[in-house]
Structure 1
């Protein structure tokens, strides 16, 4: 997974998620990262602030 990938549509994001044996979306860190990296609303929304040593939410 490349953090610099362009944002994708909801359908493209869902197609790339891991699923359970029954076909549901698996609750996993990998799926969470996939959504945060590829969703146009969430992509780039969280950043690490080296001055405060904390994570910042930078998109409203």
Structure 2
């Protein structure tokens, strides 16, 4: 999966997720990465800060901690 893929609609993202045998969305790291890379709100919003050894939210995502 290419990290620079353009953001997609919710339906397109759901269609690309892995599913269980019963048809539900599988809870997996791959699905998590798919959503973080393709969702227009989350794409590019989280980065790892080497200096602080923490994850930083670098653009507004709709909620505060």
SS of 1:3's partner is coil
* Unpaired stretches in structure 2, ≥5 consecutive residues: 61-65
1:55 offset after TM fit, Å?
Answer: 1.2
TM-score after normalising by structure 1: 0.92
Q: How does 1:5-44 map to 2 (within 5 A)?
A: 5-44=5-44
Superposed CA deviations along residues 1-42 of structure 1, whole A, max 9, x for unmatched, are 110000000011000000000111001110000000000000
* Counterparts of 1:30 and 1:50, CA distance in 2: 24
TM-score after normalising by structure 2: 0.86
* Counterparts of 2:21 and 2:50, CA distance in 1: 41
* Counterparts of 1:36 and 1:5, CA distance in 2: 11
* Counterparts of 1:53 and 1:25, CA distance in 2: 31
Runs of 4 or more above 3 Å deviation: none
* Counterparts of 2:33 and 2:54, CA distance in 1: 18
